[in-house]
Amino acid sequence: MGSMTQRTLITVACLVLGACGEGAPAQGSDGDGSDSTGAGGPGTTTEPGAPTTTEANDSGVDSPTTGSSHGDSTTDGEPPPAACAMGYPIPGTEQVQGDAEAGYHALLNEGYVSCGIPFALFPIAAPLLGSFGEGEPLPGRTGKNAEVPYNWTVHTSKSSGAEIVSLNCLECHAGHFNGELVIGLGKADADYTEQIGGFLAEIPIPGIPIPGLEEMTRMAQRYQAVGDYTRMLVVGTNPADSLAAVLSTRHDAETLEWLDEPNTVVPDVILPVDTPPWWHTKKKHGLFWNGMSRGDHRATMIYASALCTDSVEEAEDIFSYFNNIRAFIESVEAPKYPFSIDDELAAQGQEIFARDCSCCHGTYADDPALETYPNMLLPLDTIGTDPLLAFEADARPFADWFNSSWYGDIGKLTTGDPFVGYVAPPLDGIWASAPYFHNASVPTIELVLNSKARPMWWRRVDYDSTNYDEEAVGWPWVELPYGQDGAPDDERKHVYDTTITGHWNTGHPFGDHLDDQERRAVLEYLKTL
Ligand code: HEC
Ligand code: HEC
């Protein structure tokens, strides 16, 4: 399958650049060296010279999979997993306050993405936009916005004065669960295997002058420029990180002016990302899976609208209401689990969670003031999940561009401080946000808690959000006997192939030592969060 070669390439890159912690990631660091992901999958082999155990093991204590080793006492006098000691708690920065209600209004009405489709053309354009044009309208929106899908916003272009329709943040940050659209839930069925740029080119343009047409030309030009680098391999993975990096090569850092030629080479690497739910944002000191958005979080939030922001003046205008949008995002609460919960089992799970998970993922309570969240960044060789995203974020020139740009005057992208890794996310409402890990490589939490049972090749049974697996806590899936190479053409984009670079499902062995009953208890407890 070539996975060996791909992994070797990463290892070499890591070693050369010294950016991946200690050599290669500890694939499936289950401590006993056994097969962690099924025959032939990633994790079955170990790179020459790669540590097979975590650093915690190197310090002579039990593997983190045993969940018990040395350390300070916590609940019930049980020691926390040794792996927690490898973490770095990211320090917080006080955030600028705003008005959440005004933020919600701005999120759904302001033209922070300034290019788009003329409103006059939208009725003929929408059906040609694939899944991008299919969303239902959002209840509560008024005027023309009540007529367009929830992920589009009608606004008056500041440059042309024409009414145009632009994609908004909900394109990725609203998703369906149990048949309902949930604002703030990442869109787990987003299809970025096809690009909107291709769809835009198909829109027939009538031979009459249409106000705002230049905004559509600009939008098409932008997607054409970013296109190749943002095509995902599998439905459910998101190109936002690639998009952000590529857009930086097309904007002057100081003036934000659009550059017809890229100012640097963009690595031709597919970076599949899972969109985290917005109800985690309020707890996080460093936003993004690798915790790199530090300081004032508005900097990266506003950069999410950078597709067509071509001047400092425009950026400042958008920035003027992002304190409110940030306040809105902070106000988003996790939904309540809509199905039944076995309270007794959940109580058992809570104890196991306190013992084996809390030191990384925090503690939870009905009263938010009683909750704790350590903001723990874990080095790649301790967490063992796919290293590509964190590694690329650190190795690419994007962070330097960002920090030297207008956006960098607001907040910073900090990678590799003190090491490259991933943050253990808050687990509020985690049952709603399958699939799991930063690359969406694991379909259920049951499998998050059992690295040895993860399928090498899988696909979702369907994308019906009412078809939910309450027992495994996640989306129903089937194992496949082939990966992307062997898949029939019409199925390929649904096949999650964990042998492909960036798509590994390795690591996070912290539930492996649990027996089935204990695992079920932890799963039940997570439904209460
Ligand atoms: C094309 C899809 C897409 C769009 C559009 C988008 N985002 Fe995101 N967003 C993502 C993905 C994917 C991530 C996770 C990136 C990572 O962690 O590396 C993310 C991360 C975030 C986070 C941090 C979440 C966390 O837990 O760390 C915030 C906050 C956020 N986005 C806000 C916004 C806002 C505000 C907008 C609109 C201005 C927006 N996003 C537009 C895909 C998108
Ligand atoms: C040593 C720190 C550590 C321990 C201990 C730990 N985790 Fe994690 N966990 C992480 C990190 C880091 C991630 C993110 C990994 C990634 O996405 O690459 C994560 C991810 C997860 C996720 C997926 C989150 C998402 O949004 O995709 C779940 C669920 C989870 N952990 C549950 C648990 C449970 C339950 C336990 C205890 C049995 C546990 N973890 C123990 C560090 C830890």
From CA 164, how far away is CA 261, in angstroms rounded?
27
Q: How far is CA 482 from CA 341, 462, 501, 505, in A?
A: 36, 18, 16, 16
Q: 511 alpha carbon to ligand 2 midpoint, in Å?
A: 9
**Residue spans per domain, the chain:** 3-87+347-386+437-527, 100-331
Phi, psi of 431 (to 5 degrees): -60, -20
State mean pLDDT over 438-455: 98
Return the pLDDT at 42.
39
From CA 440, how far away is CA 376, in angstroms rounded?
20
- Read off the pLDDT band of 78 (50, 70, 90): low
Q: 510 alpha carbon to ligand 2 midpoint, in Å?
A: 8
- Read off the pLDDT band of 80 (50, 70, 90): low
Which ligand sits nearest to residue 237's alpha carbon? 1
State mean pLDDT over 25-54: 35
Return the pLDDT at 225.
87
- Read off the pLDDT band of 52 (50, 70, 90): very low
- The 10s digit of each residue's pLDDT in 1-18 is 333 334 333 433 333 333
Return the pLDDT at 265.
85
CA-closest residue to ligand 1 atom 11: 275
Residue in 31, 88, 103 with CA at minimum distance from that of residue 420:
88
**pLDDT, greater one: 80 or 104:** 104
Residue in 522, 515, 469 with CA at minimum distance from that of residue 345:
522
Lowest mean pLDDT among 179-188, 264-273, 302-311, 490-499: 264-273
Q: C-alpha 387: how far from its chain's center?
A: 14
State mean pLDDT over 440-456: 98
Q: 425 alpha carbon to ligand 2 midpoint, in Å?
A: 7
Q: 282 alpha carbon to ligand 1 midpoint, in Å?
A: 14
State mean pLDDT over 373-382: 97
State mean pLDDT over 460-476: 98
Q: Is pLDDT of 427 > 50? A: yes
What does the buried/exposed string (b/e) look like for 53-75 if buried means 16 or more CB atoms within 10 Å of the residue's CB?
bbbbbeeebbbbbbbbbebeeee
- Read off the pLDDT band of 224 (50, 70, 90): confident
State mean pLDDT over 430-450: 98
Conformation bin of residue 322: beta by default, left when phi > 0, alpha when psi is -120 to 50 = alpha
Q: 275 alpha carbon to ligand 1 midpoint, in Å?
A: 7
Which ligand sits nearest to residue 274's alpha carbon? 1
- The 10s digit of each residue's pLDDT in 295-325 is 999 999 999 999 999 999 999 999 999 999 9
- Read off the pLDDT band of 228 (50, 70, 90): confident
Q: Is pLDDT of 396 > 50? A: yes
Paired tokens of 288 = 């993004």
- Read off the pLDDT band of 195 (50, 70, 90): confident
State mean pLDDT over 40-64: 34
What's the sign of the alpha-carbon dihedral 111, 116, 121, 123? negative
Which ligand sits nearest to residue 433's alpha carbon? 2
Place of tokens 């207008």: 406
State mean pLDDT over 108-120: 94
From CA 401, how far away is CA 251, in angstroms rounded?
9
Q: CB of 81 closer than 6 A to ligand 2?
A: yes
Q: What stretches of 293-342 show up as alpha helix (H) in DSSP?
A: 298-303, 312-319, 322-331
Q: CB of 357 closer than 6 A to ligand 2?
A: yes
* Closest ligand 2 atom number to CA of residue 422: 12
CA-closest residue to ligand 2 atom 34: 357
Q: Which of 131, 167, 168, 169 to mutate to test the pocket of ligand 1 (most atoms within 8 A of CB)?
A: 169
Place of tokens 């390929």: 492
CA-closest residue to ligand 2 atom 35: 357
Return the pLDDT at 201.
83
Lowest mean pLDDT among 192-201, 251-260, 463-472: 192-201
Return the pLDDT at 66.
32
Q: Which of 172, 281, 293 to mutate to test the pocket of ligand 1 (most atoms within 8 A of CB)?
A: 172
Which ligand sits nearest to residue 80's alpha carbon? 2
Q: What stretches of 432-515 show up as alpha helix (H) in DSSP?
A: 445-448
Q: What stretches of 40-80 show up as alpha helix (H) in DSSP?
A: 55-58
- The 10s digit of each residue's pLDDT in 337-360 is 999 999 999 999 999 999 999 999
Paired tokens of 191 = 């299809």
Q: CB of 438 closer than 6 A to ligand 2?
A: yes
Residue 379: count other Cβ atoms within 10 Å of its Cβ.
Answer: 24
- The 10s digit of each residue's pLDDT in 252-275 is 999 999 999 999 887 788 999 999
From CA 276, how far away is CA 280, in angstroms rounded?
8
- Read off the pLDDT band of 199 (50, 70, 90): confident
Q: Is pLDDT of 89 > 60? A: yes
* Closest ligand 2 atom number to CA of residue 389: 18
Average pLDDT of the chain is: 86
